[in-house]
Amino acid sequence: MASEWCIGIIGGSGLYAMSGIEDAQWIAIDTPWGEPSDEVLCGRIGDVKVRFLPRHGRGHPVSPSELNARANIDALKRAGCTDILAISAVGSLREELEPGRFTVVEQFIDRTQGRANTFFTSGFVTHVSMADPVCPRLSEMAARAVAAAGGKVAVGATYLAMEGPQFSTRAESRMYRQWGADVIGMTAMPEAKLAREAELPYALIGMVTDYDCWREGEAVDVAQVVGQMHANSQLARDTVLQFIAALPQERAPSPIDFALDDAVITAPDEHDPALMAKLDAVARRLLG
């Protein structure tokens, strides 16, 4: 495996651009899964290669329910990424996770519906483990980076992924709290699942913009969310710079680099050639 880092940065709501990237060039990347949300900004920060993709596109034209997560992850894999640091705006389901605080996500509850959530359809059926859905190495470095950038950070959060684009009802919000969820958002699933299928270690920083509507008499207000997103955006950029600066000079292999080992269940003589061709980036290690 490559010993060089190439960090894919997925920018969420309010983070449509990245500062500090040298030799920056927006590059359109074609994928067999359709169009990604936007072109990929390719360049470097110091000696580290970076690839930045705004999750909703520049200017936020793409709805969370219509994101082509397969194309986004495939594009980052084609762009040479070894790891992904994702950043998302989230609502808080806990009093102690106040707006402005950043959370490093550890677990997910997936409540999305109807989204293409796997690369491995009939003809090359594969079951990857999602027991531990994020990379502990990247997550630890992400938490340190938030602190180094001067932000407040909580670790070990459980993220409830809802469909949207509407916000949740009070009954749903209170139920999610009972389930043990800490933050709520609309975009991290199936993104994290697809990153694992692509053997890309993945970490997620949630930028808390508001309290979800579990609080009596309060509702999510878009103006408040947008205002807090803008307030969070500079800290997010600074966090990325701190994260990149603190990376070890050489990238040691991660167990996630081999997530597809022993995961394929379809017999070789039943492999679908058309699907195999589409997997040329995602499963290139297996396909030679």
Report the 10 Å Cβ neighbour count for 143. 22
Of these residues, 38, 212, 238, 257, which one is catalytic?
212
In the residue annotation, 212 being an active-site residue is answered as: yes
In the residue annotation, 257 being an active-site residue is answered as: no
Listing DSSP states for the chain in one string gives: ---S-EEEEEE-TT----SS-EEEEEE---BTTB--SS-EEEEEETTEEEEEEETT-TTS-S-GGG--HHHHHHHHHHTT-SEEEEEEEEEESSTTS-TT-EEEEEEEEE---S----S--TTS-B----SS-S-HHHHHHHHHHHHHTT--EEEEEEEEE---SSPPPHHHHHHHHHHT--EEESSHHHHHHHHHHTT--EEEEEEEEEE-TTSTT----HHHHHHHHHHHHHHHHHHHHHHHHTS-SS----GGGGTTTTTB-S-GGG--HHHHHHTTTTTHHHH-
Q: Nearest-CA neighbor of 95 among 178, 187, 183? A: 183
Of these residues, 38, 74, 210, 238, which one is catalytic?
210
Q: Nearest-CA neighbor of 84 among 22, 40, 32, 31? A: 40
Whether the CB-CB separation of 159 and 181 falls below 8 Å is answered with yes
Task: Say how far apart CA 38 and CA 154 lie, in whole Å.
Answer: 30
Task: Say how far apart CA 243 and CA 218 lie, in whole Å.
Answer: 35
| Residues with active-site annotation | 210, 212
